[in-house]
Chains A and B, each alone.
Chain A
Amino acid sequence: MKHRLIFLMFLGVIVMLIAGCAQQETTKPAPSETPTPSEVQTSVPSKEYVTLKELAEKIRSGEIDVGNDYSMSLNGRFHTIHSKVLGLDCSACHVPSYAEDYIYQRKYEKPGGAPGVVDRSTCLGCHKEGGIATPWYGSANK
């Protein structure tokens, strides 16, 4: 009888503990205690994700400064946009050499100082009509 009483008391304590925890989880802070958005931002480090399209727009609008050096030099605007802002590796555009049947008038030339020749078909991905970048190329279906 004594053991049974102790067991029931022990069970009661466990039930109370579980109920207490559950109440703690569901308890919402009072309105006055709710953190403001600014408090959230300062307390929690946030990451702003920008799509490539938004990035391209920011470059075009001048929000992202890529300089005014319109040249193909490494520090010029062209390479700044593609490698520094968009993060393209050199090998994304420069390939060691063209394929045997590649049709390109300056096929046998390599840009001075460049790690390789450039396959222009890479540019099509972004620079065609409806692409994210300024459209140099049209639609093949026209």
Chain B
Amino acid sequence: MKLVRIIDMERCIGCRACVAACMNENYYIEGNPWNFVIEYETGKFPSVRRIFVPMNCMHCEEPPCMKACDAIGVQAITKNEYGVVLIDYEKCIGCKYCIAVCPYGAPHYIRDVKPIFPDGDKTPYDEVPAENRHWTHRKKPNTAEKCTFCWHRIEKAINEGKTDLIGKDPEYTPACDIVCPVKARYFGDLDNPESEVSKLIGSKKATQLKKEAGTRPQVYYILEGGDY
């Protein structure tokens, strides 16, 4: 099973519902969004256009972050059989090498674990103790973290034997993908030729960003004009 995400940039309106959903789902801490929307303008007045590019970890097939982490013997980053790249916070030494090598800017460094509110008050989320959280949500200072494709949801599907529902049932699908109001996000198994993502990649010529890096991302984008 190779899990992939497709983001339709022809449909994205830059509302950032995906960013908000990710923050709620993954115990956001200040300055470390796992999901982010880049925006810029193209064209000349009056023919201008605003481009929105939702970005998260690309879960590359050849992740440079993992290669760098392995090269220095830390081995805190792994890529599992479902294609999900995960960071083990217990092994991470906070060297930031993964941050330096990622062409997409996905990993973030946690300097301190601070409550979201500036006055120091804790939200109900902040108050959930680490032992009651999924291990991917146990924030730790001096570590790197990034999008996990909502691994806690995928893991649940695996444990319950419902992998066929990944990308279809909201319970087993990443939070960002189920909240999109304009249906610009899709998630599913690329190894299944009948999945929606497989069909979309073929029919809409969805492509990866920064292909020159040769990391073969598992997040695809439907761009105006198709593949490049």
Contact B38 A103 (CB under 8 A): yes
Query: What distance in Å separates the Cβ of A21 from its nearest Cβ neighbour in chain B?
Result: 63
- List B residues 197-226 near A (Cβ within 8 Å): 209-216
Given contacts A72-B100, A104-B105, A105-B104, contact A136 B56 (CB under 8 A): no
A70 to B71, CA, bound (A): 11
Stretch at the interface among A5-13, A23-31, A45-53, A120-128: A120-128
Contact B97 A105 (CB under 8 A): no
A139 interfacial contact with B, CB 8 Å: yes
**Closest Cβ neighbor of B37 among chain A residues:** A105
Contact B55 A70 (CB under 8 A): no
B51 interfacial contact with A, CB 8 Å: yes
Given contacts A136-B64, A139-B214, contact A101 B104 (CB under 8 A): no
Contact B106 A78 (CB under 8 A): no
Residues of A within 8 A of B99 (CB): 72
Query: What distance in Å separates the Cβ of B79 from its nearest Cβ neighbour in chain A?
Result: 14
Interface size of A as a range: 20 to 34
A140 interfacial contact with B, CB 8 Å: yes
Given contacts A70-B72, A140-B211, contact A105 B36 (CB under 8 A): yes
Contact B105 A107 (CB under 8 A): yes
Partner of A129, one of B71, B102, B214: B214
Per-position 1/0 for A53-87, Cβ under 8 A of B? 00000000000000000111000001000000000
Contact B95 A103 (CB under 8 A): no
Query: What distance in Å separates the Cβ of B69 from its nearest Cβ neighbour in chain A?
Result: 10
- List A residues 110-140 near B (Cβ within 8 Å): 118, 120-121, 123-124, 127-129, 134-140
B196 interfacial contact with A, CB 8 Å: no
Per-position 1/0 for B38-67, Cβ under 8 A of A? 101110000000010101100000101001
Contact B215 A137 (CB under 8 A): yes
**Closest Cβ neighbor of B34 among chain A residues:** A105
Contact B97 A137 (CB under 8 A): no
B12 interfacial contact with A, CB 8 Å: no
A4 interfacial contact with B, CB 8 Å: no
A100 interfacial contact with B, CB 8 Å: yes
**Closest Cβ neighbor of B209 among chain A residues:** A103
Contact A105 B38 (CB under 8 A): yes
| Chain B residues in the interface with A (C-beta under 8 A) | 36, 38, 40-42, 51, 53, 55-56, 62, 64, 67-68, 71-72, 74, 93-97, 99-106, 108, 209-216
10 A-B pairs within 8 Å (CB atoms) are namely A71-B96, A72-B97, A72-B99, A72-B100, A100-B40, A105-B55, A105-B106, A106-B36, A140-B213, A140-B214
